[in-house]
Amino acid sequence: MNYLKKVVIVMFCVFCSLKLAAQTHPNIILTKANINVVKSGIGKYPLLKKSYQEVKERADFAITHPIIVPTPKDGGGGYTHEQHKRNYSNILDCGIAYQITGNQKYADYIKNILLVYAAHYKEWGLHPKRKSDDDSGRIFWQCLNDFVWQFYVIQGYDMAYNAISTKDRAIIEEQLFIPILKFITEEHYDVFNMIHNHGTWALAAVGMTGYVLHQPKYVEMALKGSNLDGKTGYFAQLDQLFSPDGYYSEGPYYQRYAMLPFVLFAKAINNYQPGLKIFDYRDKLLAKAINTSLQLTYTDKTFFPINDAIKDKTYESIELVYGLDIAYADIEPESFLLDIANRQGRVIVSDAGLKVAKAIAEGKTKPFKYVSQWIRDGASGQEGGLGILRYGKNEDQECLLLKAASQGMGHGHFDRLNILFYDNGTQIFEDYGSARFINIDTKGVGNYLPENNTWAKQTVAHNTLVVDEQSDFKGKVDVAQKYHPDLVYFKADSNLQVVSAKEDNAYADVKLLRTSALVKILGYTKPLLIDVFKATSKTEHQYDLPFWYAGQLVNSSFDIDAKKDDLKALGTDFGYQHLWFNAQNQLDDKGGFVSILNNKRFYTIHFITENPLQVKLVSVGANDPHMNLVDGKAFILSQPKAKNQTFISITEVHGGVDPVNETVNAAASSISGLKIITTNDEQTAFSFKFKDKVYQYMINYQNKNNYVVIK
């Protein structure tokens, strides 16, 4: 932290010695000096042209329809909510259209709509649908949306600035923007000074507005916090919310969301105060954060849906379009970023977007480089992290994520040592994400549903060990926030990729250690996923290890005798109350297998433990009176009573079906004879037969030089 503190202090000195750059408009995403090259770029570079056409179509739609500024009334997804969102988008689109065409009508739209807002803003009190006064917006039900509104609107205003009369500007600024700045920094003093994504949006809105309105006081507050002491504000957030690897503690879904104010405010800082060298700050932290955001996706573009996440969110989202364009144009022009820009299918009509579209048109694109890596969590990089193992080209990549990160505050899930597994463009072992229908008013006002707490956050909703049918830290976020897992071992050789992490505090007297590996065996195209989950305790516990699988169960080593009627919930708390208990299978043996057909490919999971075990088949949906939950199916390896327990599993990707040609290939697994040789504090060793050859797999817990051996 000492190093960081010094950097911060140096920065402040630089800042204090600078005056704000002369007031030119526009000067954020589009800058006055570059307008002509962007204009001519629109004619030349297809991606910029297409992106601009989309902007202009929306702008033309806006200016030919009545201005509607409704009195704030509805919650998320409701009519007034969506209308005010539409208005800020329109303002931004018209700002761009004005700069590119020079046509006054677009600037007039901005002037006119802002005059309407200015006329009414003061009479709007706190929003009638607010959850609490502390959290309330005036335009929206939560203040966060008000910050976002201002964040977009100020960009549009900056672009129309010179086309609005001094008199009108005075009205807009005095009746609308200054009151909003006060609303954010005074009435929402706490949120503005919070080290949290809501705070980021607040300060970016305030800082950018400060630049555009030439109000250095607000810029300073945005950078250094209300007290100007650097304990809060932009730099403090950059220091505390990101790890040195650019990981944001709330997880990828919120990282994506938070990226936009971080990156765009940085762009504004860079334009107005280039001397701050904001993009170099903390060893180019912003570039790392953008790159890490992209690395936190699978090849289907979706973010890993850990913690509270909307599962179909992809890097096509506007935040990462901004992020990527600025990363390429202003930080480091990596040609593999262009691949993502192509898949995003748009650029920001801006100085940065111009460079990206130009580079693509010049054929500079290279395939995006997904890498296997350990991404550190925590401001100092010492609070666990995420292990990502990948194998194969982007078109058909096998990918394993081990989540050994810190809690991630209120949006974190109790899923220490959870794994996600992907293959063939889709999730194989999946995460539920959050229980939320975002912006759908009729489902909990579009907000997190009660089942987000009772189900989605609970340990059993994840692919990780549950002890005694309770969640990690008994589901208490304040306790969980104090502890983090630790990396034990990481290796990413091409044929043997391993991540091993431990968690000692999730349960009072049980230590957890998980070692997951992608193991490529010679002569076989797809690596095996070999997973060893070890629980150690001095006392007896029930150990449940769920596998939340996508697809259809098509084979198993045991006869399935599913409940035909009178289906019961599996338990009463910690998410178990939401599980329908479809089938209980007491195995004669210590192991077995289950085969899944998913997206036309087979996956066979072989498993073994030290003691005969049960396999419970469950599905999501019990105790859900309003049918808020979506479907999900798991098999749970369950050990009713043991002190120490090792769950070993090998997942083989094999064969497939072709429904169009009605053929099937390699429906049976090639693995057999999975046997434990030993498992203790020193070592877990086991053997299995794969296509006529017997392999031994050993984890040497005490030997980092020889941690995993396969022979």
Q: Which residues participate in catalysis according to the annotation?
A: 254, 411
Q: What are phi and psi of 137, to 5 degrees?
A: -95, -175
CB closer to a copy of itself, 173 vs 325: 325
Q: Decide if residue 168 touches a copy of itself (CB under 8 A).
A: no
CB closer to a copy of itself, 193 vs 197: 197
Judging by beta carbons within 10 Å of its beta carbon (0-12, 13-18, 19+), is residue 15 exposed, middle or buried?
A: middle
Residue among 40, 22, 90, 38 at smallest CA distance from 61: 90
Contact segment (CB under 8 A) with a copy of itself among 153-161, 179-187, 491-499, 556-564 equals: 556-564
Q: How far is the CB of 556 from a copy of itself (least distance, A)?
A: 8
Contact segment (CB under 8 A) with a copy of itself among 209-217, 425-433, 453-461, 549-557 equals: 549-557
CB closer to a copy of itself, 290 vs 708: 290
SS3 for 105-164, per residue? HHHHHHHHHHHHHHHHHHHCCCCCCCCCHHHCCCCCCCHHHHHHHHHHHHHHHHHHHHHC
Question: d(Cα 332, Cα 104) in Å, to the nearest integer?
Answer: 36
CB closer to a copy of itself, 364 vs 600: 600
CB closer to a copy of itself, 14 vs 668: 668
Out of 439, 584, 683, 700, point to the residue binding a copy of itself (CB under 8 A): 439
Per-residue b or e along 33-43, where b marks 16 or more CB atoms closer than 10 Å to that residue's CB = ebbeebeebbe
Out of 582, 585, 598, 638, point to the residue binding a copy of itself (CB under 8 A): 582
Q: Decide if residue 441 touches a copy of itself (CB under 8 A).
A: yes
Q: Decide if residue 565 touches a copy of itself (CB under 8 A).
A: yes
Q: Of residues 653-682, which lie at the interface with a copy of itself (CB under 8 A)?
A: 657, 659-665, 667-668
Out of 26, 77, 210, 392, point to the residue binding a copy of itself (CB under 8 A): 77
Residue among 663, 711, 676 at smallest CA distance from 690: 711
Question: d(Cα 701, Cα 679) in Å, to the nearest integer?
Answer: 10
Q: Work out whether strand 614-620 and strand 633-642 pair parallel, antiparallel, or are unpaired.
A: antiparallel
CB closer to a copy of itself, 84 vs 520: 84
CB closer to a copy of itself, 193 vs 604: 604
CB closer to a copy of itself, 257 vs 533: 257
Q: How far is the CB of 156 from a copy of itself (least distance, A)?
A: 17
Length of the chain: 711
* DSSP character at residue 384: E
SS3 286: helix
Q: Decide if residue 562 touches a copy of itself (CB under 8 A).
A: yes
Q: How far is the CB of 314 from a copy of itself (least distance, A)?
A: 6
Contact segment (CB under 8 A) with a copy of itself among 104-112, 119-127, 177-185, 438-446 equals: 438-446
Contact segment (CB under 8 A) with a copy of itself among 370-378, 460-468, 522-530, 580-588 equals: 580-588
Q: Of residues 586-625, which lie at the interface with a copy of itself (CB under 8 A)?
A: 595, 597, 617, 619, 621-625
Residue among 131, 158, 157 at smallest CA distance from 142: 131
For residues 296 to 325, the per-residue mask of contacts with a copy of itself, x marking binding by CB under 8 A and - elsewhere, is --------------x-xxx-xxx-------
Q: What are phi and psi of 179, to 5 degrees?
A: -55, -40
Out of 583, 587, 642, 709, point to the residue binding a copy of itself (CB under 8 A): 583
Contact segment (CB under 8 A) with a copy of itself among 273-281, 373-381, 527-535, 566-574 equals: 566-574
Out of 280, 283, 300, 561, point to the residue binding a copy of itself (CB under 8 A): 561
Q: Decide if residue 560 touches a copy of itself (CB under 8 A).
A: yes
Tokens coding 536:
């150690």
Q: How far is the CB of 583 from a copy of itself (least distance, A)?
A: 7
Contact segment (CB under 8 A) with a copy of itself among 56-64, 114-122, 133-141, 555-563 equals: 555-563
Q: Decide if residue 83 touches a copy of itself (CB under 8 A).
A: no
Q: Decide if residue 642 touches a copy of itself (CB under 8 A).
A: no
Residue 272 to residues 28, 111, 282, 361, 543, Cα–Cα distance (Å): 8, 24, 20, 30, 57
CB closer to a copy of itself, 88 vs 183: 88
Q: Decide if residue 347 touches a copy of itself (CB under 8 A).
A: no
Question: d(Cα 254, Cα 312) in Å, to the nearest integer?
Answer: 14
Considering CB under 8 A, how many residues would be counted as binding a copy of itself?
57
Residue among 625, 13, 47 at smallest CA distance from 350: 47
Out of 2, 165, 442, 702, point to the residue binding a copy of itself (CB under 8 A): 442
252, 306 contact by CB (below 8 A)? yes
Tokens coding 442:
């009729």
List, as one string, the DSSP characters of 313-329: -BTTSHHHHHHHHHIII
Q: How far is the CB of 48 from a copy of itself (least distance, A)?
A: 20
Out of 19, 538, 564, 711, point to the residue binding a copy of itself (CB under 8 A): 564
Q: Decide if residue 141 touches a copy of itself (CB under 8 A).
A: no
Strands (E), 576-613: 579-586, 591-598, 601-608
Q: What are phi and psi of 258, to 5 degrees?
A: -75, -25
Q: How far is the CB of 561 from a copy of itself (least distance, A)?
A: 5
176, 118 contact by CB (below 8 A)? yes
Out of 34, 240, 453, 555, point to the residue binding a copy of itself (CB under 8 A): 555
Q: Of residues 270-299, which lie at the interface with a copy of itself (CB under 8 A)?
A: none
Q: What are phi and psi of 387, to 5 degrees?
A: -100, 125
Other C-beta atoms closer than 10 Å to the C-beta of 687 total 15
Rg for the chain, CA atoms, rounded: 27
520, β-bridge pairs: none
Question: d(Cα 95, Cα 104) in Å, to the nearest integer?
Answer: 10
- Residues of this chain that interact with a copy of itself (CB under 8 A) are 77, 82, 85, 310, 312-314, 316-318, 437-443, 446, 552-555, 560-562, 564-569, 580, 582-583, 595, 597, 617, 619, 621-627, 630-631, 657, 659-665, 667-668
